[in-house]
Amino acid sequence: MKKFTYFTSEFVSPGHPDKVSDQISDAILDACLADDPNSRVACEVFCTTGLVVVGGEITTTTYIDVQEIVRKKINEIGYRPGMGFDSDCGTLSCIHSQSPDIAMGVDVGGAGDQGIMFGGAVKETEELMPLALVLSREILVRLTKMMKAGEIAWARPDQKSQVTLAYDENGNIDHVDSIVVSVQHNEEVSHAEIEKTVIEKVVNPVLEKYKLNTENIKYYINPTGRFVVGGPHGDTGLTGRKIIVDTYGGYFRHGGGAFSGKDPSKVDRSAAYAARWVAKNVVAAGFADKCEIQLSYAIGVDKPISIKVDTFGTAKVDEDKISEAISKVFDLSPRGIEKALELREGKFKYQDLAAFGHIGRTDIDTPWERLNKIEELKKAINL
């Protein structure tokens, strides 16, 4: 009998309470950077029934209308009157300027805080991402689009998915073990209709795209049988509570720092993007089939304190040589990362990343997904 190892990743929709908070935080960041690219922003959002609280530290030369940003984003996500939470909610703003003790370290090009950041890449998909996370995300991208287009009229914004894959003894994906989808819905629809629609119109088209073995798949669609009360009305939302969803679905390690609401001087965000950029180029260069990069920083210091490469036994090149090549090819100082990854240039919206994940996106041209350092890395290793 074959022995399998099981790995699971989950994803949540833009209407999940924590994702509502993430998107509002990043919408405020986008508004600041649009008029003042040098804005310092650390914006946190709390949302619950009838109330959104915006707090944190913002230093900027521009004016932002917090109420307008909050209401516009909630409406865009799809919450309407009668759902327990909508754009006609109370908003409370508690914002002050950045601490001068932090600012003096950032002003000279140093990191905005200490911390550890991870990035990874693996040959499981074309975009070099873990397949379980990609499947979970694509299920909700499809479901959300169909909800907004009115193709699934009973669906509401709060949705979650989860995919479990079975790996054989050689570490290869053998089959899809189970799919979990929970979707908020109106009062009228039956559970049988929800189950049929989600499996046939949402899940199966995604699985067919990847030509996976689904012979003995198990489905869990709205397992409790009812999900009418949802969103911030059913569960309080808070910025930064979906860091695993935002990255690799648990496949690679995470340093613990959230992304949303933070300007690029915060290495929690910028260095995590950079670590993905490095890892993806390492794998694409053929140095390994799987690679995880750890970076560490100290507040006010303009270079990483450490760089660690882990290829999980898949390296075709010595890991020490890979690490040396990374140090030569990539400028991983906070300002170097900001410049190379175009983090203050307004070429993409941070709020769009908050909606469907920051890593491995193929629908947005994010610089940390570009394979533009392969030849330099090969040259640095004399290949």
Binding residues: 16, 18, 44, 57, 98, 158-160, 226-227, 235, 241-242, 258, 262, 266
CA torsion angle for 215, 221, 223, 227 (degrees, to 10)? Answer: 180
DSSP 244-255: HHHTTTTSS---
The token pair at 186 is 């109106």
Q: Are 285 and 374 in contact (CB under 8 A)?
A: yes
Residue ranges of the binding site for Mg(2+): 18
Which has the closest alpha carbon to 6: 238, 305, 216, 317? 216
- Annotated binding residues for K(+), written as ranges, equal 44
Whether the CB-CB separation of 11 and 142 falls below 8 Å is answered with: no
Strand order in the sheet with 115-122: 115-122, 290-297, 306-310
Hey, what are 247's tokens? 């990255």
Annotated binding site for ATP: 16, 158-160, 226-227, 235, 241-242, 258, 262
Q: Which residues pair with 7 in a beta bridge?
A: 165
The phi and psi torsions of 149 (rounded to 5 degrees) equal: -80, -5
Instruction: Kindly report the number of other CB atoms within 10 A of residue 94's CB atom.
Output: 10
Q: CA 73 to CA 66: how far, in whole Å?
A: 11
Q: How far apart are CA 180 and CA 346, in angstroms?
A: 36
Q: Tokens 């200490």 label which residue?
A: 114
Collapsing DSSP states into helix, strand and coil, what is residue 175?
Answer: strand
Check the CA dihedral 200-206-210-214 and report its sign: negative
- Tell me the binding residues for L-methionine: 57, 98, 235, 266
Q: Which amino acid would we find at residue 378? A: K
Contacts (Cβ under 8 Å, ≥6 apart) of 278: 119, 293, 326, 330, 332, 373
- Strand arrangement of the beta sheet that strand 237-238 belongs to: 90-96, 51-59, 40-48, 237-238
DSSP tag of 108: T
